[in-house]
């Protein structure tokens, strides 16, 4: 679950010396457009592939984001962040983990920051353009500034017309390739006022694990 959350972190880029000005202009445009929406709802496909280890995992998920708040559903689990507290709900384990200390979560960048592009840690430059079912996808290549990072590089695919993110491809130094593809990108949807609220009455039989 943490690995998948970290994948969302890679929807960011760094402002640092020697950056590609065209890439920066494109990412600025994507960021400003995302910030103009009241909320964003994504359905996505997640694929983890390491042929050397004969590992391939595919799953689907969805996330709703509004400001710093988010609700992420994937692998049968739910993560709710109400702006102050993070609730990780695991039906399989019948356990809810609650934490108000999200400093580590912030350092990894949460789903609520997946469309914010002003964080440190990556250099970036324009990469290839691909035609995907009639859509022109412009890729931006992100490279970790930290040479000790486990990530080799990341390709962020942006729809040249809508300026919405289409996919992300992360290549690890261990040969693992992780791809997140957005199947549905919706904005300003009517959402319940309680969407980002944890209702403890629904989990009376669950083990509550408070980390702080």
Structure tokens at 170: 């992360």
Among 55, 3, 5, 60, which Cα is nearest to 181's?
60
Query: In which region does residue 76 sit, left (phi positive, over 0), alpha (psi from -120 to 50) or beta (all else)?
Result: left
pLDDT along the chain (212 residues), means of 10: 53 43 86 89 92 88 90 92 93 94 51 51 89 94 87 90 90 90 94 95 94 83
Domain ranges of the chain: 21-210
CA–CA distance, 141 with 62 (Å, rounded to integer)? 25
Instruction: State how far the Cα of 153 lies from the Cα of 108, in Å rounded to an integer.
Output: 16
pLDDT at 103: 54
- What pLDDT sits at residue 15? 31
Q: 205 Cβ partners below 8 Å, 6+ apart?
A: 94
Q: What's the pLDDT score for residue 9?
A: 47
Count CB neighbours of 67 within 10 A. Answer: 11
Enter the DSSP assignment of 93.
Answer: T
Could you tell me if 110 and 123 are in contact, meaning their C-beta atoms sit under 8 angstroms apart?
no
Angle at 194 between CA 193 and CA 196, to 5 degrees: 105
Longest dimension (CA), the chain: 54
Burial class (CB in 10 A: 0-12, 13-18, 19+), 53: exposed
- The three-state secondary structure class of 46 is strand
Tell me the whole-structure pTM to 2 decimals. Answer: 0.78
| Residue 7: HSE in the Cβ half-sphere, 13 Å Cα cutoff | 26
Among 145, 134, 132, CA closest to 14? 145
Domain 21-210: give its CATH architecture: Clam (2.50)
**What CA–CA distance (Å, rounded) separates 208 from 56?**
32
Phi/psi at 9 (5° precision) = -65, -25
Residues 156, 142 contacting (CB under 8 angstroms): yes
Q: How far apart are CA 34 and CA 97, in angstroms?
A: 30
Count of CB atoms situated within 10 Å of the CB of 161 = 9
């Amino acid at each position: 679950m943490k690995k998948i959350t970290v994948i969302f972190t890679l929807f960011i880029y760094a402002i640092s010396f020697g950056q590609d000005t065209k890439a920066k202009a494109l990412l600025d445009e994507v960021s400003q457009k995302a910030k103009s929406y009241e909320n964003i709802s994504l359905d996505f496909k997640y694929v983890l592939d390491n042929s050397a280890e004969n590992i391939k995992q595919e799953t689907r998920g969805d996330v709703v984001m509004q400001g710093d708040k988010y609700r992420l559903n994937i692998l049968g689990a739910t993560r709710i962040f109400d702006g102050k507290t993070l609730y990780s709900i695991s039906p399989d384990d019948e356990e809810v983990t609650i934490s108000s200390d999200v400093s580590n979560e912030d350092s990894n960048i949460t789903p609520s920051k997946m469309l914010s592009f002003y964080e440190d840690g990556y250099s970036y430059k324009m990469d290839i353009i691909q035609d995907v079912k009639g859509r022109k996808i412009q890729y931006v290549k992100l490279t970790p500034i930290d040479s000790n990072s486990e990530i080799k590089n990341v390709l962020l695919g942006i729809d040249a017309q809508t300026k919405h993110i289409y996919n992300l491809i992360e290549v690890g130094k261990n040969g693992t390739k992780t791809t997140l593809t957005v199947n549905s990108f919706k904005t300003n949807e009517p959402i319940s006022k309680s969407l980002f609220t944890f209702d403890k009455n629904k989990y009376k039989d669950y083990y509550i694990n408070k980390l702080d």
